[in-house]
Each structure stands twice: as C-alpha cells, then as structure tokens.
Amino acid sequence: MDFSRRCSDLVISHPQIPGATVDYLHTNLVHNASAYVSEIEYINHGPINVTDVSFCPVNVDVWLPTNTCHGRLMGLGGGGFDCGLYPENMMAMLGAVGEGYAAVSTDCGHTMEQDLSEWLLEFIGKSVAKSLYGVEPGYSYFSGCSQGGRQGMMLAQRYPTAYDGIVASSPAIYWAEILASGFWTQLVMNELVSYPESCELDYLTEMAIRACDDLDGVVDGIVTEIDSCKFDAFDLVGMHFPCGNQTMMLSGSAAIVASAAWQGPFSRGGDSLWHGVDVVSNLTSILSCQCSSGGRCTGLPVKFSSDWIRLAVKKNPDFDLDSITHDEILLIFGASVQECTSIIGTNDLDLSEFRNRGRKMLSFHGLADPMVPSQGTRRYYEAVEKRDPRVRDYYRHFEAPGLGHCWSPSGLYPFTIFNDMVAWVERGSVPKYLLASFTGENGTEHEGILCPYPERAVYNGMKTRCQGAATSAPQGRSTG
Ligand SMILES: [Ca+2]
C-alpha cells in the first residue's frame, strides 16, 4: 500500500462523532524514526529499541504505523492531571507504533473533565485507522498508569464495550480521597512546626525494609509480606545514623510524620479516613519542605494535592494552604469526596457488562507506592470480588512487592503485563502469574513473579510459585 499518498488529509476521512465535529486533520508521514523508549516512558511494557518505524500521525492524536502494522490499536492514558500527550506519553506513542500498534491519545483539550474522551479515542482511532488501512483494527487495547489507570477503570465501568482489553496500573481509583489525603502529612508537619530531614525519612524507609525483608524467606531488599510488616518508627527515636559526611540523630517529629504517612488521615475521634502509604514507600518523594535563611520552614505539598484542594475543592487559586487545621482538613476531605466522586471517582463495583461482553482487564499496584496507596486498589478489588466471586475470569490484580508508583528502580516491575493482556484476549491464555524484573542490591537484574491477588508468591528454596489464598483460585504454576 502506498502510504506516502494515503497519509493525507484528503484521503483520511474526518471521524463522524455524535455531538462533536473534527475541524481539521493534519497529517505528515514520518519516515524511519528510531529511539530508545524506556519502561518509565512506556509503562506496562519493557524498554524497547524502536528502529526505522514509519508512521502517519493524525492530529487528534493518532499515529498509524505504515511499515510494522498488525491490525491492533492501543489507546494510551494520561498521568497526573494530564489526560495524555505529555512528553513521556509521546514516547509511549512511539513505543506503540514501534511495536506495530495504531496508537491513539489525546490532550482532551482540557484536563479534569476528560472522562468522555477515552472511549472517543477508540472510536476516533478505529475510524482514522480504517481510512488509512482500508479495514478497522482487529483488536483495541487501553494502557495506562496512575491517572491513566483510573481512566482504564472508568472505561471498564462506564464504557465496557470500548476496548477488548485494558491494562489499568497503579490506578487512582479513589481520586477525591487520594488527593485530599495527600495534604495530611503537610498538616502534621505544620502543626508540629517541625520538618524532618530527608536523611531521617530515608533512614526510616531503609530500616523498615531491613526489618521486614526476610519475612518472605529471601533477604533481597524486597518486602513481599507487607501485611505482616510491623515496624514502629518510635523505636528508633534517638538512634544515630550517617547523613552524608555527618552523623544524625532521629528526631521524634520525624517518627510522628512518617507514622502519619503510613497511617493516613484520621478524624478527631481517631477513625481512619483513608489509607496511608505502605511502610516501605519512599517518603522523600511526598514529604518535602523549604526553609528560609532565617530558619522559617514551610511544607511543600505534592502539587497534585495542593492544586486539587485550591482549585477543585476550595475553588480559590489563592487559598492559603498553610492555614489548614485538622478540623479544616476533615471538611476538605468530606467536600472532596462528596462533590467530586460522582465526576471523577471510578469505584463502581459493577463490572457485569464488561464481563458479559468477554472483555479482560489487568492491573498491578506497587507495594511501595508513595503517591497512590496500594490499599485502595486492594479495597476495590476485594469489593468487586465480594460482588462477583468469579472476577478473576475477566479481571486480575497483581500486587508488586517493593515497587513505587508505576515504575521505580527497585521493586518487581511486570514488564510483560500488556503483552499478557493481548495473549489473554486473543489466545485465551490466562495470566496465572506475571513475570517481573527487579534490580538486586548489588545491581544485578533478577526475575521474579507477581501473583493474582490474593495469591502470593512463595519461595520454597528452589522455586517461586503462586499459592492461593482463595479456594476458587486456579493452581499456581512453577516458573522454574
Ligand atoms: Ca525479601
């Protein structure tokens, strides 16, 4: 097929979208693009070397490979407040066309009320691909992490026919709760008028990992048995440890702040409002502050949370976050959940239409995620399973020991999850476990497995295998 002639706005027809118009299409065939695309940019996949891929980018944004296509479409989700088409996402688009997918993503034109656009993506992508290739893609998949994971969940719940398979990783399912909770540790620091040093937080994380590493039987820097990990930061107050060239002593306030991050926000009466982060999470990525030369410090809340509270909850860009008290954060949390969950929450437990249409979904969540508490995804999965005990026929969730948010240098990262989804959809190959890679303490690469929740990976001295916690669980398979 002569793609140099067909990749033209004269040939590619404008998608017919009910209630919307596509004003113009811009196309310009790209020849022989090559790049290294890392797993951070191409989440749900391993790193790939893209070589000499040619594609036809259509401005909505659909990139149609012209020398590697195999008739499949990949919708790519966003991250943070971005719907899609931010720099890492553009690299993911290149990774996808490099692997022969018609890749489709969008910036949504705006940021927060984007949920309509993910099923439109599939619609637009199919329509435009058909114009170029003469046939529609045979299969459509969605791939996302964090915000993109939330979009994937929303698709399964509200638009269950849009995609054949969905990979919804580290999903921010309970968006309103997560973003309101994100300010909790800042409040604790402000009330203490004490801001822990990064060395103190890193020391606590390191000691938590050391305390719980061998609960899984292997001392490898990875904490698999996170539920049995009992670690009390207060036991270490007054201990000395190295910080650069100096020796530092752990302060009581560092123990209070770290414990607040692990516990999550609670009411005046001590009732938990939302999950905290896993005890082995990297706290310096969510807990920072800045101090003036005069010694006055203020917290630097994670931007997602501060923007969310100012713009979505308070609707006042000038709202003074430093003025927030414990009573105020309870009101903010309540307002965030009450006003925003119906718009952006994706915790609908009813996946029956998704199931009935034969669609499949996979998710993973790092057990050291400092941004989106892993317990939220577990909570959602358990609630769906309670409603439908056969959930694993169409949706499987994998907890990833030691992994941070979406990807991190340490922890078990399931680099084949997207391809496992394709195999499940197209060949009926049930993902009984996911292969995962991790970097050991001496810098060498290892492979492990992730098991479908609530099964867990158990090492018997020879092999690692999945062991079921539920009676309906399929028998785990050895990887050795
Ligand atoms: Ca271990």
Please tell me the distance between residue 402's alpha carbon and the centre of ligand 1 in angstroms: 9
**CA dihedral sign of residues 152, 362, 444, 95:** negative
Mind listing the pLDDT tens digit for each residue in 266-291? 999 999 999 999 999 999 988 887 77
Phi/psi region, residue 281 (left: phi>0; alpha: psi -120 to 50; beta: rest), is: beta
456 CA distance to ligand 1 centroid (A)? Answer: 13
What would the two tokens of residue 409 be? 């240098």
CA–CA gap between residue 258 and residue 309 (Å, rounded): 22
| pLDDT surpasses 50 at 37 | yes
Ligand 1 centroid to Cα of residue 397, in Å, is: 21
Q: Note the pLDDT tens digit of each residue in 364-381.
A: 999 999 999 999 999 999
**Distance of alpha carbon 7 from alpha carbon 69, whole angstroms:** 14
| CA 209 to centroid of ligand 1, rounded, Å | 8
For residues 220 and 440, give the distance between their C-alpha atoms in angstroms, rounded to a whole number.
7
Tokens matching residue 466: 């999945």
Strand partners, 249: 240
| Alpha-helix residue ranges (DSSP H) falling in 231-325 | 252-263, 303-307
Range with lowest mean pLDDT among 70-84, 195-209, 370-384, 422-436: 70-84
- What one-letter code names the amino acid at 353? E
Å from CA of 297 to ligand 1 middle: 37
pLDDT digit string (tens) for 175-220? 999 999 999 999 999 999 999 999 999 999 999 999 999 998 889 8
What is the mean predicted confidence (pLDDT) over 303-307? 88
pLDDT of residue 109: 52
Residues with active-site annotation: 146, 369, 405
Helix (H, G, I), strand (E, B) or coil at 366: strand
Of the candidate ranges 70-79, 202-211, 416-425, the one whose mean pLDDT is the lowest: 70-79
Across the beta sheet with 165-169, what order do the strands follow? 30-37, 48-58, 62-65, 102-104, 72-76, 139-145, 165-169, 360-366, 395-400
- CA separation (Å) from 239 to 189, 221, 256? 21, 22, 15
- 333 within 8 A of 265, measured Cβ to Cβ: yes
Q: What is the DSSP letter of 15?
A: P
* 452-467 per-position pLDDT tens digit: 999 988 877 788 899 8
Sequence-ordered list of residues with C-beta below 8 angstroms from that of 235, at least 6 positions apart, any chain: none
Residues 6+ apart with CB under 8 A from 323: none
| CA of 221 relative to ligand 1 center, distance in Å | 6
CA-based nearest residue to 398, from 410, 416, 386: 416
Q: Comparing C-alpha atoms, which of 23, 105, 34, 35 is closest to residue 64?
A: 105
Q: What is the pTM of this model?
A: 0.89
